[in-house]
Structure 1
Amino acid sequence: MQITRFGHAAVLVEAAGTRVLIDPGVFSAEEAFALEGLDAIVVTHQHPDHIDVTRSPGLLERNPNAVLIADPESAGTLAFGDWTPNADGLVTVVGDVTVRGVGSQHAVILSALPRVANVGVVLSAAGEPTLFHPGDTYEYAPEGVDVLALPLSAPWAKISETVDFVQRVSPGSLFPVHDKTISELAYGIYWQHTMNFGGVEDSRKLGQTDSDTFESA
């Protein structure tokens, strides 16, 4: 499995000859929207840092055969593309990769704000590690996760909850996503607490950039 981060929540997963892009949002690098040869594009929820409605139509034009998978609210409201609604436990097979929906709701930001739909995804294929991208929540902790795309900072999270989530999922390794809300100067505080107390190996083989590419075996 090869994983490429494109800034914040956008992750390209290449496994078993299949290419799946997750959450190309407004904080994502331009390179994410220039990708071609995608087999699927997944949106976990409707917030703009997970789906950029300005740049994504061009991405879909470059990938006309990609399967489009989104949480049910996004699938019903996005004005471009033919999106298939995702749901907790729903399985979509894309090439030789299985995409399984996990969860249903976004984490609570404020009690005054309604919770939107959020459906994370577990990606798996024969002979490959299993990857979990939760979108914006720590609520759901599926079993059998080898690699975790870990939301490192958000208006709905604090570091004790981050570490608790890592411990509950108990993956073999992890890498950070949802990290554009942290300044470069303070980044190490969040990451070191996660590494020191989460008890999980850092998957990355490159430095902290918008477009790290690494392999997980």
Structure 2
Amino acid sequence: MCAIRHRAASGSAQVHHGRVRITRLGHAALLLETSEARVLVDPGAFSLDAAFELSDLDAVVVTHQHPDHLHPARAADVVAASPGAVFLADPETAEQQGGPWRTHADGVVTQVGDITLTGVGARHATILPSIPVVANVGVLVEGPSSDGGTTTLFHPGDSYESTPAGVDLLALPLSAPWARISDTVAFLSGVAPRGFLPIHDATIADVAYDLYWNHAVNHGGVDAEQAHRLAPGDTLDA
């Protein structure tokens, strides 16, 4: 059972026993919290300010170099606020950022407290033939669930190429310059998660949001009760 809470994440650590708490921080950014770890994914230029006010993180994961996934002007602030964290990024971003950033590649597994982070995929989706394709490594996040077992979330970054098995909750890129709604729905169907939540939606006008969301809900093959329409700042207990 998942429950949505409408409140923003706090800057410092909190304890969440026996489950993963997922907070949307705008566009592609997610904060994942358990009793042992706090992990931030893709703090980009379209993220809430709250994404850059977090401290004492245990890990930061960046799927690729585009500014809506890693804010170039605020990346150093993220590092400075959590000096003890593990910083993981695709090979190109890790090389560009240097310092504490480690390469997070397909199949690489990193343990952070009771959260397991596994790299998935290698390349960003094609935007235009004239635009170079950059590296993109999604992340499978496995942590404790509220029923005493485990739950697995998949954040694919900017790619619909990889469809790993056993995903409980998919962070679904809802709109992008590289995607049609038919691609989005096919990806959701291919992953076949138990549930999903939206990411990568800052480019959708409010008046058009229902159009994108309803296509995913009605045609993606997932139980509508497990379609979690989280707005930026909302939290889901998985």
Task: Output the TM-score relative to the length of structure 1.
Answer: 0.94
Tell me, in whole angstroms, the C-alpha distance in 1 between the residues paired with 2:142 and 2:237: 15
Residue ranges of structure 2 left out of the alignment (5+ in a row): 1-19
Structure 2 counterpart of 1:124, from 128, 134, 142: 142
Percent identity over the alignment? 53
Q: Which amino acid aligns with 2:217?
A: M
Q: Which residue does the alignment assign to 1:29?
A: 48
**Aligned pairs for 1:1-217 within 5 A:** 1-78=20-97, 81-126=99-144, 127-201=149-223, 202-204=226-228, 208-216=230-238
Tell me, in whole angstroms, the C-alpha distance in 2 between the residues paired with 1:176 and 1:18: 23
Residue ranges of structure 1 left out of the alignment (5+ in a row): none
Tell me, in whole angstroms, the C-alpha distance in 1 between the residues paired with 2:110 and 2:42: 17
Give secondary structure in 2 for the equivalent of 1:186: helix
Give secondary structure in 1 for the equivalent of 2:154: strand
State how many pairs are aligned.
213
* CA shift for structure 1 position 16: 4.9
* CA shift for structure 1 position 157: 0.2
Contact kept in structure 1, 2:37 and 2:114, CA below 8 Å: yes
Tell me, in whole angstroms, the C-alpha distance in 2 between the residues paired with 1:11 and 1:82: 21
Tell me, in whole angstroms, the C-alpha distance in 1 between the residues paired with 2:45 and 2:222: 29
Please give the root-mean-square deviation of Cα atoms over the aligned residues, in Å.
1.3
Tell me, in whole angstroms, the C-alpha distance in 1 between the residues paired with 2:110 and 2:227: 26
Whose relative contact order is higher, 1 or 2, with alpha carbons under 8 Å and at least 6 apart?
2
Tell me, in whole angstroms, the C-alpha distance in 1 between the residues paired with 2:35 and 2:133: 35
Q: Which amino acid aligns with 1:40?
A: A
Q: Which amino acid aligns with 2:214?
A: Q
Partner deviation per Cα, 1:76-134 (whole Å, 9 max, x = no partner): 0015x411101111111111211100000000111111110000000113533100000
Per mean C-alpha deviation after superposition, the further-off stretch among 87-96 and 66-75 is 87-96
Tell me, in whole angstroms, the C-alpha distance in 1 between the residues paired with 2:116 and 2:230: 29
Tell me, in whole angstroms, the C-alpha distance in 2 between the residues paired with 1:200 and 1:19: 28
Contact kept in structure 2, 1:3 and 1:215, CA below 8 Å: yes
Contact kept in structure 2, 1:38 and 1:63, CA below 8 Å: yes
* CA shift for structure 1 position 37: 2.1
